[in-house]
Amino acid sequence: MIMADKISIVINGKPREIPEGTFLLDAVRKEGITVPTLCHHKDLMPSGTCRLCICEIEVRGKKKLVTACNYPVREPLEVWTDSETVTRHRRILAEMYLGRWPNVRAVREIAGLCGVSESRFKGRYTEEDPQSCILCGHCVRACREFALERILDFAGRGIHRHIAMPFNEVDPHCIGCTSCAYVCPTGAIQIVDDLNQPVDPQMIRDHGMKVNAEMANLDPVQCRMREVGTANIVDVMNQYDLLPVKNYKYGSHPEVWKIDSKMLKAKYFTQNMPDGCWKGCSMACAKTIDDFELRTGPYKGQKVCVDGPEYETAAGGSNMGCFDADFIAEFNFYCDTYGIDTISAATTIAFVMECFENGVIDTGVTGGLELNFGSGDEVLELLHQMARGEGFGVDVGQGIRWLKDKWENEYGADRKFMDDIGMETKGLEVSEYVTKESLAQQCGYGMAIKGPQHDEAWLIFMDMVNNELPTYEHKAEALHYFPLWRTWFGLYGLCKLCWNDVVPADNKMTSEPQKVPDHVNNYFKFVEGMTGIKLDEQKMLDQSARVYNLQRVMSRMLGYGTRRDDYMPYRALGPVTAEEYESRQDRYDKQLREIVGVDPEGRSTSEKIKILRDYREDQYDKTVSVVYRRRGWDDNGVPTVERLKELGIDLPELVAIVEKNRG
C-alpha cells in the first residue's frame, strides 16, 4: 500500500501530523473531540449536507468555515472546532432541525449537544412524527454505495425535498437488501417483511451490513471485485509469476496486458451490477460483455451477451498462449453455451498444444489442426468439434488422462513426458494457477478430494502473495483447516467470496489473518441469526470433517482416495524441461545453492532439474504424510477408524470400506 504524505495541522491549538487526504472530521474525532453530525455515517461517503460539522480553518492565512466531514486535508492548516462563530452557526442549524423535526431522537440529541432546547423555526413545515425522515441521505448513499443501485433518491426542491423511488412507485428493481433501513437514523424506513422467518433478523443484518460497508469502502482499494470481478487477479498473478502460460510452463508473459483487468474493463465489460444470486449481496463480482459479435461457430455474426470472463477463463487463455481478449470472450461464450467447463477445456487443450509442439502428436492426429500455442482460431474449431462430436474434438473432449492412455497405446507416445506435463490429478484437469513455488498450493490441489481445483484449498494467495504461511507447520495446518472451512460453505450453501476476497481493514492485526477471523464470525452469525444455533470454530470444523471424511471414504469406495491418487504431475511441482528451468535459472540455481545445498556451478541443466526434482518431490511427499496425520488418516491417506469414531460416523459399512482398503 502506498503511504500518503503527512501533513502538519493544528487542531484546537494542538499540532498534529495526519496523512494527506484525510477528511478533517476523521482527524478531529481521532483527537477525541466531539463534532455534531446528522448526515455523516462512518461507512458512507461524506455528503456535507447537514452542515453541523462546520469548523473554522485557516489556510494560507485565510480563515473560512468548512464542513469537516468532506474537507480533505491537502495542505497545512489550523482548525478550531468550536470557535464562537462555529458554535453560533451550529446553534442556529440545530434550531432549524429542532423546529422541523422536534420529536426525532437523533435531532434532539444533536440539539442538546449544541445547547439548543427551543426552536424559533417551528411552523408550517414542522413534522411531529418521532420517526420522520430528516433528509440525512444515508439511505440514498447506502443504496448507491452498498448495493450499487439507484432505487432511492431525493425528489422535490427546497423545502419540498423528500425521499422517493422513481415516479413515486415501488421500484421493482429494489432487491430488498435492507441497507437503507439499516442506516436510517430515525426509523423512517422500516422493514415490513423478513423472508424465511429468521430467528434473529437483526443479527443477520448487523453482520451483512458490515460486509456491505467493507465492499463499499475497501473493495476499491483491495480487490476491485465490483469493478472487474475476479479478473482483477490476472494482473496480480502475472506480477507474482503465478499466471499459467503455455501449459503452466511459465507464470507471466509480456503480452498479458492484452487480457488483463485493465483491458477487460476498458474495452469489454459493460454490465456492472449486483447479479442477484444472493439477495442484497453487494459484491457484484459477475461481469458481462454485451453486444459481443461472434466470429465462429453456429452463432457466427450474431451479437451475444458473454457471461464473464472470470479469472479462470482469462487465465485459460494465457495457458493456451492466446493473449487475445476477443478470443477469450468467444471461448467463454461457446464453453458456456455448449456446457463445457472452461478450465478443463483450456487445460486439456494447453496439454494438447504442448504435445503438438513437441511432436508427440501431429496434424495426422489432430485432423489437420495446427494446434500451436496461441492458435486461437484452431482452439475455437476444436471446441466446435467437441460439441458436434466430430473429428479430433471427440478425443480431446475425453480429457487429459484419457488422451495420455490413447496416445501411449496407439502412437507409442512418451508416457513419462505426458505424465509430467499432463496437468491432471484423479482425472480432473488442474485449475489455472502455477503452483511450482507454492508447496501449500501443490498439496491443496493434489490432496483435494474431488481433484485439483481451487474450490477446496486455494492457498496460493496467502502462501505466495501475502506470505502468510511461512513455515512448514503453517502449511500443514492450513491444509487441515482450509479444506474443512471451504467444505463448510458447501454444507450451508453459502457463497465464499465475501469471506476472504475483501478483508477488514485491520485484518492484518489479527492473530490469524489468513483465516480472516472477523469474516468467519460473520458466517457463524448468519447461521445463528437464521437458525438460532450458535457456532464456533471447533463446531464448524467438526461439522465439515464429518462430510469431508465421508467424501474421502466414498472416494475410496470408488477406487480413488489413497496416497497414489494424491500426487501431482511434476509440472505442478517444478520445471520439467530445460527451457522451463533456464527461463527462471537464477531462481532455481539460488534454491539449489541455499535450500538444497548443492552448488549449481558447472552442472548441466538436466542434472540440475534432476536434483531439484528429487528435492521437491521429497518435500511434497513429506508434506502429504504430515497432512494425513493432521487429518487423522493413515499414511496411505485413508481415514482411521478412530477418526471416524471421533466424528461419530463409524457406521459399519464405512468402517468396512476403511478396513478393507487399508494399505
Partner 1 sequence: MQDLETISREVNRDLRAYKATLMVCTGTGCISAGAFNVRDALNRILKEKSLESDYLVIGTGCNGFCAVGPIVVVQPEGIFYQKVKAKGDVEEIVEKHLQKGSVVERLLYRDPATGQRFQTMADIGFFSKQRPIALRNKGIIDPENIEHYIGRGGYRAIRGILESGSPDEVIESVIKSGIRGRGGGGFPAGIKWRSAREAALQRREIPYVVCNADEGDPGAFMDRSIIEADPHSVIEGMMIGAFSVGANEGFVYVRKEYPLAMARLGKAIRQARERGLLGKNIFETEFSFDIHIHRGAGAFVCGESTALMASMSGKAGEPRAKYVHNVEYGYRDKPTVLNNVETWANIPVIIEKGSDWFASIGTGNVRENPWGGSSGTKVFSLVGAINNTGLVEVPMGVTLREIIYEIGGGIPGGRRFKAVQTGGPSGGCIPVEKLDMPVDFDSLTEAGSMMGSGGMIVMDDRTCMVDVAKYFTGFLMDESCGKCTPCREGLPALYETLDRICNGQGKEGDIEFLEEVSETVSATSLCQLGGTAGNPILSTIRYFRDEYHAHIRDKRCPAGHCKALITYSINHEKCTGCTLCALKCPSGAITGEKKQTHRIDPLKCIKCGICFEVCNFDAVEVK
Instruction: Give contact residues for partner 1 (rule: CB under 8 A).
Output: 48-52, 54, 65-67, 70-72, 85, 88-89, 92-93, 96-97, 99-100, 120-121, 123-125, 135, 153-154, 156-161
Angle at 189 between CA 109 and CA 45, to 5 degrees: 70
H or E element in which residue 148 lies: none
The C-alpha cell 462512518 sits at 42
Closer residue to partner 1, CB minimum distance, 59 or 273? 59
Q: How many residues are recorded in the chain? A: 663
With CA atoms as reference, report the closest residue to 454 among 488, 420, 429: 429
Q: Residue 37 Cβ, how far from partner 1 at the closest point, in Å?
A: 12
Q: Residue 134 Cβ, how far from partner 1 at the closest point, in Å?
A: 9
Closer residue to partner 1, CB minimum distance, 14 or 88? 88
Closer residue to partner 1, CB minimum distance, 65 or 170? 65
Q: Residue 19 Cβ, how far from partner 1 at the closest point, in Å?
A: 16
Q: Residue 67 Cβ, how far from partner 1 at the closest point, in Å?
A: 7
Closer residue to partner 1, CB minimum distance, 117 or 409? 117
Closer residue to partner 1, CB minimum distance, 55 or 352? 55
Task: Report how far apart, in Å, the C-alpha atoms of 490 and of each of 448, 543, 630 are.
Answer: 14, 11, 22
Closer residue to partner 1, CB minimum distance, 70 or 272? 70
Instruction: Answer for the pair 140, 183: CB distance below 8 angstroms, yes or no.
Output: no
Cell numbers standing for residue 99: 423546529
Instruction: Answer for the pair 371, 349: CB distance below 8 angstroms, yes or no.
Output: yes
Rounded to the nearest angstrom, the gap between the alpha carbon of residue 511 and the centroid of all alpha carbons in its chain is 21
Please, which residues bridge with residue 67 across strands?
Answer: 54
Q: Residue 186 Cβ, how far from partner 1 at the closest point, in Å?
A: 15
Q: What whole-number distance in Å separates Cα of residue 520 and Cα of residue 211?
A: 12
Q: What whole-number distance in Å separates Cα of residue 385 and Cα of residue 392?
A: 7
The C-alpha cell 451490513 sits at 209
Closer residue to partner 1, CB minimum distance, 32 or 123? 123
Q: Residue 219 Cβ, how far from partner 1 at the closest point, in Å?
A: 19
Q: Residue 503 Cβ, how far from partner 1 at the closest point, in Å?
A: 28
Closer residue to partner 1, CB minimum distance, 54 or 204? 54
Q: Residue 138 Cβ, how far from partner 1 at the closest point, in Å?
A: 14
Residues with Cβ within 8 Å of residue 410, at least 6 apart in sequence: none
Cell numbers standing for residue 98: 429542532
Q: Residue 35 Cβ, how far from partner 1 at the closest point, in Å?
A: 14
Cell numbers standing for residue 351: 496439454
Rounded to the nearest angstrom, the gap between the alpha carbon of residue 433 and the centroid of all alpha carbons in its chain is 15
Closer residue to partner 1, CB minimum distance, 140 or 596? 140
Q: What whole-number distance in Å separates Cα of residue 490 and Cα of residue 544?
A: 9
Question: Position 264: which residue type?
Answer: L
Instruction: Answer for the pair 341, 347: CB distance below 8 angstroms, yes or no.
Output: no
Closer residue to partner 1, CB minimum distance, 100 or 205? 100
Closer residue to partner 1, CB minimum distance, 60 or 157? 157
Q: Where are the alpha helices (DSSP H) in 219-375?
A: 225-228, 232-239, 261-263, 311-319, 325-338, 342-357, 363-366
Angle subtended by helix axes 439-446 and 605-631, to nearest 10: 60
Instruction: Answer for the pair 332, 309: CB distance below 8 angstroms, yes or no.
Output: yes
Work out the number of other CB atoms within 10 angstroms of the CB of residue 256: 21
Q: Residue 218 Cβ, how far from partner 1 at the closest point, in Å?
A: 21
Residues with Cβ within 8 Å of residue 328, at least 6 apart in sequence: 259, 309, 313, 314, 316, 317, 322
Closer residue to partner 1, CB minimum distance, 14 or 124? 124
Instruction: Answer for the pair 349, 320: CB distance below 8 angstroms, yes or no.
Output: yes
Closer residue to partner 1, CB minimum distance, 36 or 297? 36
Residues with Cβ within 8 Å of residue 167, at least 6 apart in sequence: none
Q: Residue 258 Cβ, how far from partner 1 at the closest point, in Å?
A: 21
Q: What whole-number distance in Å separates Cα of residue 458 and Cα of residue 237?
A: 13
Q: Residue 157 Cβ, how far from partner 1 at the closest point, in Å?
A: 6
Dihedral sign of CA atoms 205, 206, 211, 216 in order: positive
Dihedral sign of CA atoms 642, 645, 647, 649 in order: positive
Q: Residue 143 Cβ, how far from partner 1 at the closest point, in Å?
A: 15
Task: Report how far apart, in Å, the C-alpha atoms of 641 and of each of 454, 542, 635 are.
Answer: 29, 16, 13
Question: Position 72: which residue type?
Answer: P
Q: Residue 50 Cβ, how far from partner 1 at the closest point, in Å?
A: 5
Closer residue to partner 1, CB minimum distance, 57 or 576? 57
Instruction: Answer for the pair 409, 433: CB distance below 8 angstroms, yes or no.
Output: no
Q: Residue 54 Cβ, how far from partner 1 at the closest point, in Å?
A: 6
Q: What whole-number distance in Å separates Cα of residue 409 and Cα of residue 637?
A: 30
Closer residue to partner 1, CB minimum distance, 50 or 289? 50
Question: Position 40: which residue type?
Answer: H
Closer residue to partner 1, CB minimum distance, 80 or 472? 80
Angle at 479 between CA 475 and CA 484, to 5 degrees: 150
Q: Residue 78 Cβ, how far from partner 1 at the closest point, in Å?
A: 16
Angle at 65 between CA 62 and CA 67, to 5 degrees: 135
